[in-house]
């Protein structure tokens, strides 16, 4: 795939022109309505001549397009607005999880232009083979994107584990991965990404972190601080504080699935006991509901649980209540520690939120010191199970907006 890892925060020093390009494009991206060139001059403090020159570069480079002018009263011709282009550069989002692979493409506007999912139990599959299948899927995504006028210029890969700053997956216990050199394995495949200065070809990150970023930048915008919990076979959390992802000292924050809710309880794959995912992970809920996990395809387990719960099945309702109670114990600890007022249930939890939210809220009410006068909201994710892959691709698209000069130099 010829993707090389680069630190997520790497920023190249730019010229005044590069800074002006990023400033104007950023304003267009953040605007609530399409701004005119005059609006941009007022908002940025740049001269109208400078804004006009920058806008022409952005139009020529297919980073922005002109929208129809809004109706206006009074004399004079209405000015045309500017919006992010839905053709040109785009981001590739990849996800490896315990029982599926996902590939998606997101354009600069944030729209998902391609998404494919391959369902399979990946625990017995060697990392190199799983990544090879992902590359095959990414090749199909690239071809589809090209047919839509899009060029992939960066990728982000979401994995359910601990990733160091070189892109090596140090530990993904539910996959059985340890010290997997993902960038090196992907580099053995033919290139799929067009290299652009300033844009990393590949970023590897924890899936819960990328899911939280997907939620943060979804539309309509939500709170700037929240806890996003991804409930799959394993359970991960992304912590967003004041609009930024909190990563911790080594980038490994958010392992909520391994908080003990029963310290002397069931053994966990991580080596501990009584971890949350042993009581509220997807497989734990399915087993508690009396369903045979092996007989349920990966894409129907959550749907089957929801179907049974809606029908009033006692075993399913009890399993979901017990899982929500365990989840609430862990969530209350995080809320007490970080003083958050919003909890987002993502991944497989999103579809099960109607049954998980009440016991989670009950535990928060009884365990969070401030709950009596400062309520905590618990709600399903906007993006649901797609959050990690969409968040991954969206992170690339936002990097393009923040650093457009490399793409424009390539397009010149």
Confidence at residue 3, expressed as pLDDT on a 0 to 100 scale:
46
Mapped onto helix, strand or coil, the DSSP state of residue 369 is coil
Q: What is the pTM of this model?
A: 0.88
Confidence at residue 302, expressed as pLDDT on a 0 to 100 scale:
87
Residue 68 has pLDDT above 80, yes or no: no
What is the Cα–Cα distance from 352 to 20, expressed in whole angstroms?
A: 46
Residue 298 has pLDDT above 80, yes or no: no
Angle at the Cα of 131 (from 125 to 135), degrees rounded to 5?
Answer: 140
Could you read off the pLDDT of 311-338 as tens digits, one per residue?
A: 999 999 999 999 999 999 999 999 999 9
Residue 157 has pLDDT above 70, yes or no: yes
Exposure of 78 in the CB half-sphere (CA atoms within 13 A): 14
What is the Cα–Cα distance from 310 to 169, expressed in whole angstroms?
A: 39
Residue 286 has pLDDT above 80, yes or no: yes
Residue 377 has pLDDT above 90, yes or no: yes
Other residues' Cβ atoms within 10 Å of the Cβ of residue 198: 20
| Confidence band for 7, pLDDT divided at 50, 70 and 90 | very low
Mean pLDDT value of segment 220-246: 92
For the packed helices 349-367 and 301-310, what is the interaxial angle rounded to 10 degrees? 70
Confidence at residue 362, expressed as pLDDT on a 0 to 100 scale:
96
What is the Cα–Cα distance from 157 to 204, expressed in whole angstroms?
A: 5
Cβ proximity of 94 and 138 under 8 Å: yes
Mapped onto helix, strand or coil, the DSSP state of residue 32 is coil
Cβ proximity of 117 and 98 under 8 Å: no
């Amino acid at each position: 795939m010829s993707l090389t890892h680069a630190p997520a925060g790497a920023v190249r020093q730019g010229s005044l022109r590069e800074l002006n390009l990023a400033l104007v494009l950023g304003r267009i991206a953040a605007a609530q309505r399409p701004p005119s060139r005059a609006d941009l001059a007022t908002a940025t403090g740049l001269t109208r001549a400078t804004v006009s020159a920058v806008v022409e570069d952005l139009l020529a480079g297919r980073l922005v397009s002109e929208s129809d002018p809004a109706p206006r009263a009074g004399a004079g011709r209405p000015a045309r607005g500017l919006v992010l282009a839905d053709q040109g550069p785009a981001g590739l989002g990849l996800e490896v999880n315990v029982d599926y692979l996902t590939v998606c493409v997101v354009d600069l506007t944030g729209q998902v232009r391609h998404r494919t999912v391959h369902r399979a139990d990946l625990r017995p599959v060697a990392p190199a083979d799983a990544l090879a299948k992902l590359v095959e899927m990414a090749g199909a995504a690239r071809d589809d994107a090209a047919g839509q006028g899009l060029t992939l210029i960066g990728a982000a890969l979401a994995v359910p584990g601990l990733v160091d700053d070189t892109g090596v997956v140090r530990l993904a216990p539910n996959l059985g991965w340890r010290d997997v050199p993902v960038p090196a394995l992907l580099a053995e495949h033919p290139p799929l990404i067009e290299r652009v200065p300033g844009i990393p070809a590949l970023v590897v990150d924890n899936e819960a972190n990328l899911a939280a970023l997907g939620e943060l930048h979804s539309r309509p915008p939500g709170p700037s601080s929240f806890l996003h919990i991804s409930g799959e076979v394993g359970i991960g959390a992304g912590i967003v504080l004041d609009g930024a992802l909190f990563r911790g000292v080594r980038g490994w924050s958010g392992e909520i699935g391994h908080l003990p809710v029963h310290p002397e309880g069931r053994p966990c794959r991580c080596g501990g006991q009584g971890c949350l995912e042993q009581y509220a992970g997807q497989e734990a809920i399915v087993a508690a509901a009396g369903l045979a996990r092996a007989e349920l395809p990966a894409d129907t387990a959550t749907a089957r649980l929801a179907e049974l719960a809606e029908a009033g099945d006692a075993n399913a309702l009890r399993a979901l209540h017990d899982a929500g109670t365990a989840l609430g114990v862990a969530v209350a600890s995080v809320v007490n520690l970080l003083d958050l007022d919003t909890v987002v249930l993502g991944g497989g939890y999103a579809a099960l939120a109607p049954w998980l939210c009440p016991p989670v809220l009950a535990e928060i009410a009884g365990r969070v010191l401030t709950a009596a006068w400062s309520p905590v909201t618990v709600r399903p994710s906007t993006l649901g199970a797609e959050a990690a892959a969409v968040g991954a691709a969206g992170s690339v698209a936002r990097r393009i907006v923040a650093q457009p000069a490399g793409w424009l130099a390539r397009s010149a």
